[in-house]
Amino acid sequence: MVQSKSPSIITINLPLAAIRWPLLFLIALLAIVGAWFAERWYVGNVIAEYAPSAEEGGIYMASLGARWAPADPFTHWRLGSLEEENFSAENLANAVREYELAVTLSPHDYRYWMELGRGLDATGDTGDAEKALRRAVELAPAYSHPRWYFGNMLLREGRLNEAFEQLRPAARNDDAMRPQVFSLAWQAFDKDVDAIVRVVCPSSLERIQFANYLISADAFDEAMRVWISISPAERKEQRALGEQLQQTLLDKKQFRRSLDVMRDLAPAAARLPVAEQFWNGGFEDAALTPGVKPFGWTIDSRPQVHVDIDKRPHGGQNSLRFVFRVPNKSDANQVSQTIAVEPATAYRFECYARTENLNSAGTPVITIRDAADNTTLASSQPLPTGTNDWQRMTFDFKTRPKSEGIILSFSRAACEEAQLCPIFGTVWYDDFNLQRISSPTR
């Protein structure tokens, strides 16, 4: 019906039913079209994500995904990464093109800029590669991988200082990259420790980490040079890393250097072990297992062999006592100490022992072993049975040419195969001493 109150205005009133169905149809059509495009996007994304390797036809699958979801940056990145697997000029160019599409579609995602930079670098376009990688670093300054790739590119161009400005933060943020960065520096600076410390390791934390790396590379003298360059106050601040350095040296059988680091970290060096001497050899310090392992006494007291400090000494006030109640030939080493020594050097070992009601076919002996391979260097005579007053025990031995440590341990003389070989009684030891009797032979 048409109504009008003015000759110039025409008003048309349509019933609601007349427009309802066309409107609903339009909404449904838009929903179907939207769902279709969303489904295409999803399917294209999935096809690209699960495309196999390039050798197994992955490029075709990823291309299909990119066609189905052309506005999805992921599909182009995936296609580019597969193109890059077939290393050729044509494939690299295709990969760069796909990375450029990904960057255009998602300009604030550092990953696509990083891949574009890597691809451009592979094609030899270092100028644009630098721009892309620099942009990736700007977008994700705390992430390691953009800095790693950017730093490596700068390193290949010989821009060492700029390269390590990127590689240092990469190593700081990712522990797995740290050895690789130090390895690059070791090669780039031709093993010039001073130059590496100046450019790559300006902080005490980085210098100790570098020293740890040098130890892993068997560059022990260089590692100690770096360690010595760190002030005592800075060493204390980085105590945990210093203790790691000490343990790494120990694992490499560098006993003297490990002991030096221990003493550098300790608050009271006078109470710590020193090279070529037993720590607490007279047992005057009743704390037999202090925090100086492995250079202090290591003692494992058990019910059948009780080990403790006793007030019946040879000299001083204390001695070490073993109380044996062992019904068989068990020979578990329960007491030992590691001593840092000079290689290829002759030493004389000395201690004192007494016994009370000692009864066994296999009485205690003292053994000196090489700390590097655990081979025996020398042993004492077995203690006499019965009750005996203090008597001196001594023997000479020579360390191996490349060995820096020995281990003193207590064991038993061998028994016959068929014997049960029990041992009962009490033994005291005191006044352990080590004396060098020849200079090292080189």
Q: Do 180 and 161 sit in the same domain of this protein? A: yes
What's 55's DSSP letter?
Answer: G
User: Average of pLDDT values for 87-102?
Assistant: 83
Rounded to an integer, what distance in angstroms lies between the CA atom of residue 356 and that of residue 390? Answer: 11
CA gyration radius for the chain?
Answer: 38
Return the percent helix, strand and coil in the chain, to nearest 5. Answer: 50, 20, 30
Q: Do 246 and 326 sit in the same domain of this protein? A: no
| CA atoms within 13 A of residue 312's CA, in its CB half-sphere | 13
At residue 84, the pLDDT reads 76
SS3 144: helix
Rounded to an integer, what distance in angstroms lies between the CA atom of residue 308 and that of residue 146? Answer: 59
pLDDT digits (tens, 9 = 90+) for 42-80: 444 445 454 555 555 556 566 665 565 676 787 777 777
Is a pLDDT exceeding 90 seen at residue 398?
Answer: yes
Contact 344, 436 (CB under 8 A): no
Separation in Å, CA 7 to CA 10, 13, 53, 203: 8, 17, 76, 90
CATH number, domain with residue 175: 1.25.40.10
Query: Which range marks the domain in which residue 372 is found?
Result: 298-436
Question: Which residues make beta-bridge pairs with 306?
Answer: 323
Q: Do 130 and 222 sit in the same domain of this protein? A: no
In a domain, residue 21? The reply is no
Strand order in the sheet with 319-326: 305-310, 319-326, 423-436, 346-360, 386-398
In a domain, residue 87? The reply is yes
Contacts of 54 (CB under 8 A, 6+ apart): 82, 83, 85, 86
Of 82 and 396, the structure prediction assigns the larger pLDDT to: 396
H-type alpha helices, 106-156 = 110-123, 126-139, 144-156
Contact 281, 432 (CB under 8 A): yes
Q: Do 195 and 248 sit in the same domain of this protein? A: no
Q: Do 144 and 268 sit in the same domain of this protein? A: no
Evaluate the omega torsion of the peptide bond into residue 146 and state whether it is cis, within 30 degrees of 0.
Answer: no
In a domain, residue 3? The reply is no
Q: Do 353 and 403 sit in the same domain of this protein? A: yes
At residue 289, the pLDDT reads 59
Residue 408, amino acid: L
pLDDT digits (tens, 9 = 90+) for 337-393: 999 999 999 999 999 999 999 999 899 999 999 999 999 999 999 999 999 999 999
Q: Do 395 and 411 sit in the same domain of this protein? A: yes
Rounded to an integer, what distance in angstroms lies between the CA atom of residue 215 and that of residue 29? Answer: 70
In a domain, residue 334? The reply is yes
Closest by CA to 144, choosing from 164, 172, 116, 117, is 172
pLDDT digits (tens, 9 = 90+) for 264-293: 988 765 578 899 999 999 998 876 655 556
Number of domains within the chain: 3
Q: Do 210 and 221 sit in the same domain of this protein? A: no
Q: Do 308 and 173 sit in the same domain of this protein? A: no
- End residue of a domain, out of 165, 191, 214: 214
Q: Do 197 and 242 sit in the same domain of this protein? A: no
Torsion of CA 160, 161, 165, 170, to 10 degrees: 30
Q: Do 210 and 306 sit in the same domain of this protein? A: no
pLDDT digits (tens, 9 = 90+) for 278-335: 999 999 887 665 555 678 888 877 788 989 999 999 999 999 999 999 888 776 567 9
In a domain, residue 279? The reply is no
Q: Please work out, in degrees rounded to the nearest 5, the angle formed at the alpha carbon of residue 121 by the alpha carbons of 115 and 123.
A: 105
CATH number, domain with residue 418: 2.60.120.260
Separation in Å, CA 341 to CA 225, 280, 333, 336, 367: 21, 17, 22, 16, 16
Q: Tell me what the pLDDT averaged over the chain comes to.
A: 84
At residue 290, the pLDDT reads 52
Question: How many percent of the chain have pLDDT more than 90?
Answer: 58
Rounded to an integer, what distance in angstroms lies between the CA atom of residue 188 and that of residue 196? Answer: 9
Q: Do 160 and 114 sit in the same domain of this protein? A: yes
Helix 255-265 vs helix 239-251: angle between axes, to the nearest 10 degrees? 160
Is a pLDDT exceeding 50 seen at residue 41?
Answer: no
pLDDT digits (tens, 9 = 90+) for 156-214: 999 999 999 999 999 988 889 999 999 999 999 999 999 999 999 989 999 999 999 99
At residue 33, the pLDDT reads 41
Rounded to an integer, what distance in angstroms lies between the CA atom of residue 18 and that of residue 35? Answer: 27
Q: How far is CA 233 from the centre of its chain?
A: 24
